[in-house]
Every structure is written in structure tokens, then in C-alpha cells.
Amino acid sequence: MSHRLSSRFRIFVALVALGAASFGVSFLAQAKHARGKAPASTDDCKTDKDCVLVPDDCCPCSEGGKQHAIPKKGKDAYEKERKKRCTDTACTEMASTDPSCSQRPFCGAGICELGDAPADAPAAP
């Protein structure tokens, strides 16, 4: 009986370790992706109008991509860098279903962020 319990315990420990390892890999991948972007400053914005939507990578939402919010004052520099970086990227001709594509930019604690628009708010241009 104790041998059977011992082998079940080992299997349990192995599964927990596997789960923890897969979580760690996912967490590290997200952290690496986040490092690729410029760190947000807490003085990016004062109002929601100070923030704009831009494609998250090379492709916009209208071509299968994602979007994120940045300060309006940094949009031109961001678009210039993005066009340079994405010259050889081909985007799909389909609308994205990523949740970011239905969100709006807002200023939260001085940082441009994405969020769901209130039900009574007009759609973003």
C-alpha cells in the first residue's frame, strides 16, 4: 500500500513541477515581450485625449493585428520606426478578433492604456 501511495505522490509532484515550469516559461515570454517596448512614463498623459491607438506590431487590427495606446505626442516617431521595422512584413487581409481591437485609449494615472469603452461612450475614430 505504501509503495502505491509513494508512486502516486511522485506522479503528483512531477505534474506540479511540470505545471510550474510551463507557467514560468509563459511568464518569461511575456516579460521578454514587454521589455521590447519602451517603458511607460507616468507623465504620458493628463486626459484621455492625450492618448492614441497604434498597431501593436507591424499589422493593424484591420489586417489581423493588435493595437495599444501611446501618448499622442509620440505617435509620429512610433509610426516612423514601425514602418522602417516592418518594411518586409506581409499582413493578412482580415479583421482581427483580438480584444485590443475593440478597446479605446484612456489616461490612467498618467499612463496611456487600453480599456473597454463605456456603453454610453461614442466609438473611437
pLDDT tens digits for 58-85? Answer: 999 999 999 999 999 999 999 999 999 9
Domain boundaries, the chain: 1-36, 48-115
Question: Could you tell me the pTM of the whole model?
Answer: 0.59
If one counts every other C-beta atom within 10 angstroms of the C-beta of residue 83, the result is 10
Closest C-alpha to 79, from 91, 90, 67: 67
